[in-house]
Amino acid sequence: MKIAVAGASGALGSAIVRELGDSGHTVFRLVRGESRGLDEIGWDPSYGRIPAGALSGLDAVVNLYSTGLAGKRWNAAQKQKIRDSRVVAADTLAAAVRDCGVPLLLNGSETAYYGDTQDRQVSEGDPVGTGFHAELCRDWEAAAEAAGPDTRLLLLRFGTVLGRNSGVVKAQAPAFRAFLGGRLGRGDQYLPWITMADAAAAVRFLMTADGVAGPVNVTAPDPRPQREFAAALGRALGRPALWTLPRPVLRAALGEYADGFYTGQRAVPEVLTAAGFEFRHAELGAALQAVLKAGS
């Protein structure tokens, strides 16, 4: 297949590009500005611009483009920037997919779509939750609908993606190594997780899962409470999970963005499992050991 990937420079995007390339697909990276090589397609996601016909001849487009949630304290302007980066880019690519007749669009989203579900299990048929992050995912997914009825649309609701040099593992490992690691608040908020290797493999698998469309939870089948994740990460690093980080402390440092660490989704991958996807890492402890050993 000929596949274009937006957001290819991020940790997850890079892993997906490698997975697709290793599987024999031809991969093009969507890059901001002018293309600099035969494997690049230039566009301007900030202003919703892509050259006419730029996606012609492609078999699929994977859209992971977004502005990161972290980095700046959230205020009205920053939240609007976060929202626009996802919605404008998704709408732009979906319209180009439609106009160029691309038969498959895989659009990024997150399990935050379901809001804070506490210990209630959720799958792809459950409704959208409340709060900024849930509504952000709702609008992100809705923008992708511009691809139209002739395109098979997959809405990839990623859980926390575990990679040694990215995301939650990279952020928390230094504290654990310094004997300062532990749970966040009570630690009963569920963490839907998946290893980087499984996330990339799931995207490749869905490319040819012709009967699958709509939302897909890209998560391992066994979401765990955050306190169990903290304990498992500590064991993988040979360190105890001794401490508790109260919500007001992190909120003072990060503002509203910190609230997401104290909420969670007990999301399960019903669609992936029913389609026959086989996880390499289905158990949290073994998954963290594999991630730290592989250095991915």
Q: How far apart are CA 111 and CA 198, in angstroms?
A: 16
> For residue 187, is it left (φ>0), alpha (ψ between -120 and 50) or beta?
left
What is the tens place of the pLDDT at every residue in 2-58? 999 999 999 999 999 999 999 999 999 999 999 989 999 999 998 999 999 999 999
The average pLDDT across 138-152 equals 97
268 touches 121 (CB < 8 A):
yes
* Identity of the amino acid at 86: R
In sequence order, what DSSP letters do the residues of 144-199 get, joined into one string? HGGG-TTSEEEEEEE-EEEBTTBHHHHHHHHHHHTT--EEETTS-SEE-EEEHHHH
Q: How far apart are CA 85 and CA 88, in angstroms?
A: 6
Confidence of residue 172 (pLDDT cuts 50, 70, 90): very high
- The predicted structure's pLDDT at residue 167: 86
Which are the contacts of 238, defined by CB distance < 8 A and separation ≥ 6?
A: none
60 touches 103 (CB < 8 A):
yes
Instruction: State whether residue 288 is helix, strand or coil.
Output: helix
- The predicted structure's pLDDT at residue 73: 81
Q: How far apart are CA 153 and CA 155, in angstroms?
A: 7
> Is the alpha carbon torsion for 172, 173, 177, 182 positive or negative?
positive
Q: Which of 50, 10, 102 is nearest to 42 (CA)?
A: 50
The average pLDDT across 133-153 equals 97
Averaged confidence pLDDT in the chain: 95
Q: How far apart are CA 169 and CA 166, in angstroms?
A: 6
What is the tens place of the pLDDT at every residue in 188-237? 999 999 999 999 999 999 999 999 999 999 999 999 999 999 999 999 99
Q: How far apart are CA 234 and CA 11, in angstroms?
A: 23
